[in-house]
Amino acid sequence: MKLFTLPLLMGAPQGAGAPPPSGMEQLISFAPFILIIAIFYFLIIRPQNKKQKETQKMLSELKKGDKVVSIGGIHGTIAAVKDSSILLKVDDNVKIELSRNAIASVTNTAKEEKPEAQIEEKKPDTAETSS
């Protein structure tokens, strides 16, 4: 037992070892770590921040008449907008109050519900030529 612990207690031999690495060599040794951090930033952190900003923008632009879907899958139309919640009309006489953060997506906005001008189809000319 004493023979095993003795070399551990003595530490590394003090001899003519290699000189300490220079500044450039230390930078090169940290290059893989810097590369991994850059990959994490561009593949994970940056897209998540972008998505979070888009969600916050969508939640702040909610207005009466928007058709929305909640995170629980409830489809409805916004009947009223409050500071931190919305009143969602689910059916004719059914309204529920949800937190703004419970909205997953907006399916239609109020201005998209207006009827669009019908496009008249032009019939091709059916003029027959006689031979």
How much is the pLDDT for 117? 47
H-run or E-run covering 78: strand 75-81
How much is the pLDDT for 118? 47
Average per-residue pLDDT in the chain? 81
Q: Which of 28-32, 43-47, 126-130 has the highest mean pLDDT?
A: 43-47
Q: What is each CA distance from 48 to 33, 51, 72, 92, 122, in whole angstroms? A: 21, 5, 22, 38, 49
Task: Indicate the fold that domain 57-112 takes in CATH.
Answer: SH3 type barrels. (2.30.30)
How much is the pLDDT for 24? 79
Alpha-helical segments (H) within the chain = 2-10, 23-40, 46-60
Contact 100, 62 (CB under 8 A): yes
> Across the strands, what pairs with 97?
87
Placement of tokens 């969508």 in the chain? 58
Closest by alpha carbon to 69, among 112, 108, 110, 106?
106
- Residues of the chain with pLDDT > 70, as a percent, come to 67
pLDDT tens digit sequence for 43-88 = 999 999 999 999 999 999 999 999 999 999 999 999 999 999 999 9
Q: Is the pTM of this model over 0.75?
A: no
For residue 99, is pLDDT > 50? yes
Question: In terms of pLDDT, which residue wins out, 12 or 39?
Answer: 39
